Structure 1
Amino acid sequence: MLTAVVKNTTPHEGQKPGTSGLRKKVKVFQQQNYTENFIQSILNSKKTELENSVLIVGGDGRFFGAEAIEIICKICAANKVSKVLVGQHGVLSTPAVSNLIRKNKALGGILLTASHNPGGPENDFGIKFNCENGGPAPDNVTNDIFEISKIITEYKIVENLVVDISKIGSNKYTVDNKDFTIEIIDSVNDYLQLMKEIFDFDKIKNFIKSKQLKMLIDSMSGVTGPYVNSIFVEELGAQTNNVIRTTPLTDFGGCHPDPNLTYAKDLVDKVRNGDYDIGAAFDGDGDRNMIIGHKAFFVTPSDSLAVIAHYLECIPYFKKHGVQGFARSMPTASAIDLVGQKLNKEVFEVPTGWKYFGNLMDAGRLCLCGEESFGTGSNHIREKDGIWAVLAWLSIMENTGKGIEEILNNHWEIYGRNYFTRYDYEECELEPCNEMISTMEKLITEPSFIGKSFTAGNTIYKVKVADNFSYIDPVDKSVANKQGLRIVFEDGSRIVMRLSGTGSSGATVRLYIDSYSRKYNGVASVMLKPLIDIALEMSQLKKFTKRDQPTVIT
């Protein structure tokens, strides 16, 4: 029999979960009791529900993940959790964790990921708690965790508990006369079965074979590798050379596992220079995706969401369960709004962060949602889902018999085009960035700002709305304030600026520009240049960030 012990500890500063959990450098989590404190704080926030509960544990395979899983299992054992389900080798994609929480009616899941942030001993680690609906913990839960972390004085642990996470099977223990189980599960199987329930794999497989569809799918050395091999190669018949970087690595092979035109440049170059019909990339934990077509024709996440919405009923899951409302994060261009209007569906605008979609899904008012940060998903789980998005696109290609560029051109011909770009300024000094946001907020909330005109080139933009976006949840009436500065002009064009909540150090400034036009064959950088110039001048962004150019342009 094993025995739980109580260890004295003192609080660590700054354990406030951001948009998607607590993210810091690995060396921060390796500090004495830092990880232990945060895990105990999570469990203390669910103290009355722990006994006989089930928790899911897994992550993107990044450095320090195995050590963190050992700590989590030992602390769960000491806190009367009944069972912990762990992905083999500690590997579970974020969508797979969400599915397992729902399938096993678990109390929640602890995810070890910093998503699209780089990994390795000198880089980032993260811990995120997902609730019983499978989605990221809402603000009231993360606030509780943070408040507990500030006053924690002890944690409970079973120090001599040992488990081998490389071997699938059930490991049973007795801890203080109570049964405790750690079950090591196949990382892919449950998720694969879910995808087979959603999509028509036979149709997609026949389409790939009959069209000799040429794909190039890049897991970026992240968690999706085993899922990609199982789904696209073994189930759908893609060739082994159609998938690349499918072995999860603790440092993602030294790359930045963020599926955008900058960090997935290798994929973009290969598709541009080769004969491929579709290219796709995923981030470290598998919830983000990038889609490109022949010769690297780029699909913005805003357009990807809108196209999927338009063709949603070609996916069997939605034929069976119906189509409810749509939603997007506030910075995301409003292409899906036009589809919602045409289909007479509710369209919600929410703050950045997948947790804001969950209540709407649970209330039956939302079935498809997305964020401009390369996240797309549906109500099959409560997380964004990269592989799901690629399967959705393959279903649309099969249904229409068309390539990606033709599908987009047809879509724009019906709806018009929402030109969109995002400028990211990563790891800037925090204090000047806070000053920039404060200065700009004061400027745009002056009463005289509404109705003001700005001229760039031959274009005049007149301000219709300007605020720091706030959101009232339609379901539980909870309020989220200060979610990003936005300026909406009378023609629907927008400038949005916010500080990201997904970085591990410093400040990441995100500047979003979008503009609607019936002219759909323009070049986005040209179409948006007048607004970009206005935004850079108004915000004094170069002055405050001390950057002449953004780190990433999407």
Structure 2
Amino acid sequence: MPGNSDIKFGTSGWRAIIGRDFTFANVRLVSRAIAAYLKTVHRSSFIVHRKRSISRTTSGVRRPTVVVGHDTRFMSEDFAFECSRTLAEEGIQPLLTREDTPTPVIAYEIIRRKLAGGINFTASHNPYCYNGIKFSPSYGGPAFPEITNEIEKNINRISTKARNLRHENTKRSGVKIKYIDPKEKYIKRIKELVDLKALRKLKIVCDPLYGTGRTYFSNILRRTTYDVRLIHDWRDVMFGGGRPEPDAETLKELAAKVKAEKADIGIATDGDGDRFGIIDSDGTYINPNAVVTLLVYYLHKTRGWKDAVVRSIATTHMVDAVAKKYGMETIETPVGFKFIAEVMQERDITIGGEESGGLTIRRHVPEKDGILACLLMAEMVANEKRPIKQILAGLYRQVGLFVPGRINLRLTPEMSRNLRNNLIKPFKDIEGIKIIGKNTIDGTKFLLEDGSWVLFRFSGTEPVARVYAESSSAKKLNILLNAGRKMVQ
């Protein structure tokens, strides 16, 4: 069992291996730490007596209420129940979902019910041996660093004795677990955002990768079209022996099924339904960079939206080119959807997206929604009446070709020092292409005269440097990525 200081909240919460670090004791510990944070935030509406907590103050303000969900991983429902019991003991009202629930649904429930926050037990796209706790505050998006820092401080303050308490005070708190089913309210919201009737024109193959998207896709698509095929649409805590990550490698079976069925589109989500994967009618995997770009075009065309487009620093600049064509501002953020969510707290946006396969749209949740992304892409294919690659080719003709790529470099201590030293040198060019700008909001990004760019980011959890690049051809892209490799020497 790890010490308290070993529990760290990253971009999407805390993740660990089940049975090694992810244990019931640590779930209770983290749950108490989150409860302590919530009680601090809502102190004015929380009265603690010697023996019990009052659910309302004299002004009628509710006690903090939190929705608790889980994905399809081994024992996720048991961990969620343990968390709910712990929250109840601490005087927090838990609303426990009756079945596994996607993260964007948890986010929508927080906003719809105006809750203090939400907790989802998921390790997202990680392998089956992991589980995790994803905490979302009252705004429904990923927790900002100042919030996760407070939770970590609470973890370190809670004693070993308190960590091992097993609900002795549940009756004394007077709080009971309430059960909810958020599915229908979320589906109603999806109907407001997507033209589901258009999907009746399509043959769709859907792969939820044994995850939380399976019952949602089944409910939405089978109400909409008779021509839908679902694969991997049952619970398998081992995820078929693979990773529930909707990338080109994992979706090979979906791609083959799309071709065999002569379907119009293949759609997929990861374990907790926040990331998306898209397959074109010929079985081609569509890069998330292209998906975000296509939806900038499509949402402007069909909805007339002209609000800002938000993307991470590692996402294609084709987004910028298409947005500029329509008179839309582009805002660049550090990597991590919480930074896109932060922009959404301040202003309306058309779309926010990142190259790792997450996006959301105007006046929806400030959280990645893979289900929504898939359905919007299906709507686009239905209304455009042509394959995705043809739509993308039309955009290339208008704004030029953008070819993004990424490599991961495993570093020795010496290589890491070399790279850090090289990045602060006063470079004038990369492979003969003049540097015209440098961005250091997250890593080091060099902007080049011909519109190309190269980004270097160090992993916060392993000795790895990630090199992202983009240029106007695959040949130029490879030259830039190779230049990135040389930087560690």
Q: What TM-score comes out, normalization by structure 2 length?
A: 0.88
Cross-structure match for 2:227: 239
Give SS of 1:345's match: coil
Contact 1:329 1:353 in 2 (8 A): yes
Which of 479, 482, 488 aligns to 2:447? It is 488
Offset at residue 438 of structure 1 (A): 4.2
- More off after superposition, 392-401 vs 407-416: 392-401
Q: Using a 3 Å threshold, how does the CA distance of structure 1 residues 27 and 484 change in structure 2: closer, same or farther?
A: farther
* C-alpha distance after superposition, 1:372-419 (max 9, x if no partner): 001121141111111111211122223322221211111111111210
Which of 89, 95, 116 aligns to 1:78? It is 89
Give SS of 2:290's match: helix
Offset at residue 193 of structure 1 (A): 0.9
Q: Using a 3 Å threshold, how does the CA distance of structure 1 residues 272 and 105 change in structure 2: closer, same or farther?
A: same
Give SS of 1:73's match: helix
d(CA) in 1 for partners of 2:430, 2:3: 51
Q: Using a 3 Å threshold, how does the CA distance of structure 1 residues 298 and 31 change in structure 2: closer, same or farther?
A: closer
Q: Using a 3 Å threshold, how does the CA distance of structure 1 residues 405 and 325 change in structure 2: closer, same or farther?
A: same
* C-alpha distance after superposition, 1:153-177 (max 9, x if no partner): 135966379xxxxxxxxxxxx8326
Cross-structure match for 2:50: none
Offset at residue 191 of structure 1 (A): 1.5
> Do structure 1's residue 326 and structure 2's residue 309 form an aligned pair?
yes
* C-alpha distance after superposition, 1:70-109 (max 9, x if no partner): 2211111111113x222223x1101101100000101001
Cross-structure match for 1:35: 27
Offset at residue 134 of structure 1 (A): 0.3
Q: Using a 3 Å threshold, how does the CA distance of structure 1 residues 20 and 75 change in structure 2: closer, same or farther?
A: same
Give SS of 1:29's match: coil
Cross-structure match for 1:151: 157
* C-alpha distance after superposition, 1:481-504 (max 9, x if no partner): xx2232322212122232446x7x
Paired AA for residue 381 in structure 1: V
d(CA) in 2 for partners of 1:196, 1:370: 21
d(CA) in 2 for partners of 1:494, 1:533: 13
Which of 117, 124, 133 aligns to 1:127? It is 133
Q: Using a 3 Å threshold, how does the CA distance of structure 1 residues 509 and 186 change in structure 2: closer, same or farther?
A: farther
Which of 461, 466, 489 aligns to 1:510? It is 466
d(CA) in 1 for partners of 2:156, 2:95: 29
Paired AA for residue 360 in structure 2: G
Cross-structure match for 1:22: 14
Offset at residue 220 of structure 1 (A): 0.8
Which of 343, 347, 350 aligns to 1:360? It is 343
* C-alpha distance after superposition, 1:47-78 (max 9, x if no partner): 23274121011122212312211221111111
Contact 2:268 2:374 in 1 (8 A): no
d(CA) in 2 for partners of 1:495, 1:378: 27
d(CA) in 2 for partners of 1:491, 1:340: 19
Which of 367, 389, 399 aligns to 2:373? It is 389
Cross-structure match for 2:482: 533
Offset at residue 222 of structure 1 (A): 1.0
Q: Using a 3 Å threshold, how does the CA distance of structure 1 residues 359 and 532 change in structure 2: closer, same or farther?
A: closer
Q: Using a 3 Å threshold, how does the CA distance of structure 1 residues 434 and 128 change in structure 2: closer, same or farther?
A: farther
d(CA) in 1 for partners of 2:326, 2:485: 37
Offset at residue 131 of structure 1 (A): 0.8
Cross-structure match for 1:452: 429
- More off after superposition, 214-223 vs 530-539: 530-539
d(CA) in 2 for partners of 1:35, 1:177: 19
Cross-structure match for 2:56: none
Paired AA for residue 56 in structure 1: V
Give SS of 1:66's match: helix
d(CA) in 2 for partners of 1:381, 1:304: 19
Which of 171, 174, 177 aligns to 1:175? It is 171
Q: Using a 3 Å threshold, how does the CA distance of structure 1 residues 507 and 204 change in structure 2: closer, same or farther?
A: same
**1:284-323 equivalent positions in 2, closer than 5 A:** 284-313=271-300, 318=303, 322-323=305-306
Which of 94, 97, 104 aligns to 2:113? It is 104
Cross-structure match for 1:170: none
**1:464-503 equivalent positions in 2, closer than 5 A:** 464-466=436-438, 469-470=440-441, 483-500=442-459
Return 5+ residue gaps in structure 2 as ranges: 47-62
Give SS of 1:116's match: coil
* C-alpha distance after superposition, 1:175-209 (max 9, x if no partner): 3263x24232225222211101112222333xx2x
Give SS of 1:261's match: coil
Return 5+ residue gaps in structure 1 as ranges: 1-8, 162-173, 455-459, 471-482, 541-554
Cross-structure match for 2:244: 257
- More off after superposition, 530-539 vs 13-22: 530-539
Give SS of 1:333's match: coil
Cross-structure match for 2:98: 88
d(CA) in 1 for partners of 2:300, 2:450: 32
* C-alpha distance after superposition, 1:490-533 (max 9, x if no partner): 212122232446x7xx4554332211x3xxxx6x4x45222222
Contact 2:35 2:92 in 1 (8 A): no
Paired AA for residue 399 in structure 1: N
Which of 206, 215, 218 aligns to 1:229? It is 218
Offset at residue 463 of structure 1 (A): 2.7
Give SS of 2:470's match: strand
Q: Using a 3 Å threshold, how does the CA distance of structure 1 residues 433 and 188 change in structure 2: closer, same or farther?
A: farther
* C-alpha distance after superposition, 1:454-474 (max 9, x if no partner): 2xxxxx32333345x22xxxx
Offset at residue 45 of structure 1 (A): 1.8
Contact 2:407 2:481 in 1 (8 A): no
Offset at residue 46 of structure 1 (A): 2.0
d(CA) in 2 for partners of 1:183, 1:33: 23
Give SS of 2:177's match: strand
d(CA) in 1 for partners of 2:464, 2:425: 26
> Do structure 1's residue 442 and structure 2's residue 421 form an aligned pair?
yes
Give SS of 2:29's match: helix
Offset at residue 272 of structure 1 (A): 4.6
Contact 1:40 1:156 in 2 (8 A): no
Contact 1:11 1:37 in 2 (8 A): no
d(CA) in 1 for partners of 2:2, 2:243: 34
Offset at residue 24 of structure 1 (A): 1.4
The percentage of aligned residue pairs carrying the same residue is 28
Cross-structure match for 1:405: 389
Cross-structure match for 1:141: 147
* C-alpha distance after superposition, 1:107-128 (max 9, x if no partner): 0011111111111xxx211111
Cross-structure match for 1:44: 36
Q: Using a 3 Å threshold, how does the CA distance of structure 1 residues 433 and 346 change in structure 2: closer, same or farther?
A: farther
d(CA) in 2 for partners of 1:54, 1:108: 7
